[in-house]
Homo-oligomer: A and B are copies of this chain.
Amino acid sequence: MAKGGFVTSITRQSEDFPGWYNDVVLKAELAAYSPVRGCMIIRAYGYAIWESMRDELDRHIKATGHSNVYFPLFVPRSLLEKEAEHVEGFDPQVAWVTRAGGKDLDDWLAIRPTSEAIIADSVKDWIQSYRDLPLLMNLWNNVVRWELRTRLFLRTTEFLWQEAHTFHATEEEAATEVETGLECYRKVAEDWLAIPVIRGRKSEGEKFPGAVYTTAIEAMMRDTKALQAGTSHMLGQNFARSAGIEFLDRDNQRKHPYGTSWGFSTRMVGATIMAHGDDAGLVLPPNVAPLHLVVVPIARTEDERAAVESVLEPLERHLAEVTTASGPLRWQVDRREESPGFKFNHWELRGVPFRLEIGPRDVSAGQAVLVRRLDRAKETLSLDRIASELPARLLSCQADLYRRAVEFRDANSHVVDDYETFKSTLNDQGGFLYAHWCGQASCERQVNEETGATIRVIPFDGEPEAGRCLIDGRPSAQRVVFARAY
């Protein structure tokens, strides 16, 4: 909490986006730096946002037939090394326990960077017959990937996430499951976090180490850069084969099952900040906001205070009975001994969707002023209607935030056909660039090296359209999405 009644000022978003982001995270008390290099502390307000999206995603994961389970934090080195591509991808980022219980360990233990390797080894006893399939598991845990450059929520050495791991009898079922996972993420991103996403496939260069292919949802932040908001991987038989998982199928043949895995992490707290925030700080979609409403009583004298308090008591009783799309109304009356201006700043920084101002004149008129964080739109409402009007206001605020994000993304998406236009558009305007690509890794690499942009996804919903690759002019059947990304 800011001390001494001073208004907390933050860097302007338009002037320095990364500086703005760090200010919001630290000053809105979402997170703090820790004494451990690259690891963050998630503070109460930030954790409440994470809990909201976690619980919503958990509902989707369970509703699609998955069960939560837990696997160990440690992956023995010998297991991590079984899947060749996988270990190559993760080895440079691994933290190793080499000593424990007062002794040096013979088989070093990796802190899990992800759990494919230990799960594949563990489930081989559970999958004997086609009747044991599909095996649909989900884990909520912490993982560690040693990062050189970290950023609060977006890239931290340790992060919290959900990782689903599933096994199927056929490739078709596994492919459907990859879509199921991605659809869970799309729903949370769009319906809960009000962040529109593009669903698509990653290029070979961007896929998960050890996967056959990777799908992802990509979102645009308010600096027009892209952020990968969730990935769902087809693992094929890769991990099952290297771990020796086999089942007896209906046709009496022994086969390796097909695997998938998909993950969604605390970086989505960062995405929520960057997709909606403005110069005053956070702007939270009501569904995920720890507080929907803050009530700010305005009074300078004892008499005024008494007058305002006289209407607060019945109002609070009514607010306590309000149900919204994301559960019971979450609200607070700010009775601190600070100025109204200080309080407005305080709660705007924290992105509370609505504030209600009640002063002595409002009391006389039997009304109060409802201010919407998103656009500071003011509305005078009679006191006895406020509680009943709030659910609809929260719904339209959620919808308006989503619509604004779609419009922003559309306004910053560009269709480009030649490399010169590509480069100038990227430099002058940024955003998502829809361009043709021949499918060659070398062309992808050249774009990345020369512009910093990567292929975010080959969109599922893209229209087939004949064109020529930006770089080598070879034929392409569909545009892909290029952008600079987090």
Interface residues of A (CB under 8 A from B): 1, 3, 32, 34-36, 39-44, 47-48, 51, 67-76, 79, 92-102, 108-109, 111, 118, 121-122, 125, 128-129, 131-132, 137, 141-142, 144, 146, 148, 158, 160
A72 to B39, CA, bound (A): 6
Q: Determine if B100 and A95 form an interchain contact, defined as CB atoms under 8 angstroms apart.
A: yes
Q: Within the complex, what minimum Cβ distance (angstroms) separates A60 from chain B?
A: 16
Q: Determine if B72 and A40 form an interchain contact, defined as CB atoms under 8 angstroms apart.
A: yes
Q: Determine if A142 and B100 form an interchain contact, defined as CB atoms under 8 angstroms apart.
A: no
Q: Determine if A101 and B36 form an interchain contact, defined as CB atoms under 8 angstroms apart.
A: no
Q: Determine if B122 and A32 form an interchain contact, defined as CB atoms under 8 angstroms apart.
A: yes
Q: Determine if A101 and B95 form an interchain contact, defined as CB atoms under 8 angstroms apart.
A: yes
Q: Determine if B100 and A137 form an interchain contact, defined as CB atoms under 8 angstroms apart.
A: no
A41 to B47, CA, bound (A): 26
A148 to B101, CA, bound (A): 8
Q: Determine if B79 and A118 form an interchain contact, defined as CB atoms under 8 angstroms apart.
A: no
Closest B-chain residue to A66, C-beta based? B44
B residues within 8 A CB of A48? 67-68
Besides A44-B67, A73-B142, 17 new A-B residue pairs in contact (Cβ under 8 A), listed by A number: A3-B128, A3-B129, A35-B79, A35-B121, A36-B72, A39-B74, A40-B72, A44-B68, A48-B67, A95-B109, A96-B97, A96-B100, A97-B98, A98-B99, A99-B108, A101-B146, A111-B111
Q: Determine if A122 and B76 form an interchain contact, defined as CB atoms under 8 angstroms apart.
A: no
A148 to B103, CA, bound (A): 12
Q: Determine if A72 and B128 form an interchain contact, defined as CB atoms under 8 angstroms apart.
A: no
- Given known A36-B74, A118-B35, A122-B34, contact A69–B97 (CB-CB < 8 A): no
A98 to B146, CA, bound (A): 13
- Given known A40-B72, A118-B34, contact A101–B111 (CB-CB < 8 A): no
Q: Determine if B98 and A93 form an interchain contact, defined as CB atoms under 8 angstroms apart.
A: no
Closest 10 A-B residue pairs measured CB to CB? A101-B146, A44-B67, A39-B72, A95-B100, A42-B70, A96-B99, A36-B72, A36-B74, A98-B98, A100-B146
- Given known A35-B118, A97-B97, contact A67–B47 (CB-CB < 8 A): yes
B residues within 8 A CB of A121? 35
A111 to B148, CA, bound (A): 20
Q: Determine if B72 and A44 form an interchain contact, defined as CB atoms under 8 angstroms apart.
A: no
This chain: copies in complex: 2
Q: Determine if B96 and A36 form an interchain contact, defined as CB atoms under 8 angstroms apart.
A: no
A378 to B22, CA, bound (A): 64
Among A72, A75, A79, A121, residue most surrounded by chain B Cβ atoms (within 10 Å): A72
Residue among B1, B39, B73, B131 making CB contact with A158, cutoff 8 Å: B73
Q: Determine if B73 and A39 form an interchain contact, defined as CB atoms under 8 angstroms apart.
A: yes
Q: Determine if A101 and B92 form an interchain contact, defined as CB atoms under 8 angstroms apart.
A: yes
Q: Within the complex, what minimum Cβ distance (angstroms) separates A379 from chain B?
A: 31
Closest B-chain residue to A33, C-beta based? B122
B residues within 8 A CB of A42? 69-70
B residues within 8 A CB of A122? 32, 34-35, 41
- Given known A99-B98, A102-B92, contact A109–B69 (CB-CB < 8 A): no
A86 to B94, CA, bound (A): 29
Q: Determine if B34 and A47 form an interchain contact, defined as CB atoms under 8 angstroms apart.
A: no
A97 to B39, CA, bound (A): 14
B residues within 8 A CB of A144? 73
Among A70, A76, A111, A121, residue most surrounded by chain B Cβ atoms (within 10 Å): A70
B residues within 8 A CB of A79? 35
Closest B-chain residue to A137, C-beta based? B44
B residues within 8 A CB of A44? 67-69, 137
Q: Determine if B72 and A47 form an interchain contact, defined as CB atoms under 8 angstroms apart.
A: no
Q: Determine if A93 and B99 form an interchain contact, defined as CB atoms under 8 angstroms apart.
A: no
B residues within 8 A CB of A36? 72, 74-76, 109, 118
B residues within 8 A CB of A73? 39, 73, 111, 142, 144, 158
Q: Within the complex, what minimum Cβ distance (angstroms) separates A405 from chain B?
A: 27
Q: Determine if B47 and A70 form an interchain contact, defined as CB atoms under 8 angstroms apart.
A: yes
B residues within 8 A CB of A94? 100-101
B residues within 8 A CB of A108? 99
Q: Determine if A70 and B132 form an interchain contact, defined as CB atoms under 8 angstroms apart.
A: no
A142 to B112, CA, bound (A): 13
Q: Determine if A132 and B41 form an interchain contact, defined as CB atoms under 8 angstroms apart.
A: no
Closest B-chain residue to A160, C-beta based? B70
Q: Can you name 12 A-B residue pairings with CB atoms under 8 Å?
A: A34-B71, A34-B122, A35-B118, A36-B75, A39-B73, A44-B67, A44-B137, A47-B68, A48-B68, A94-B100, A99-B108, A111-B111
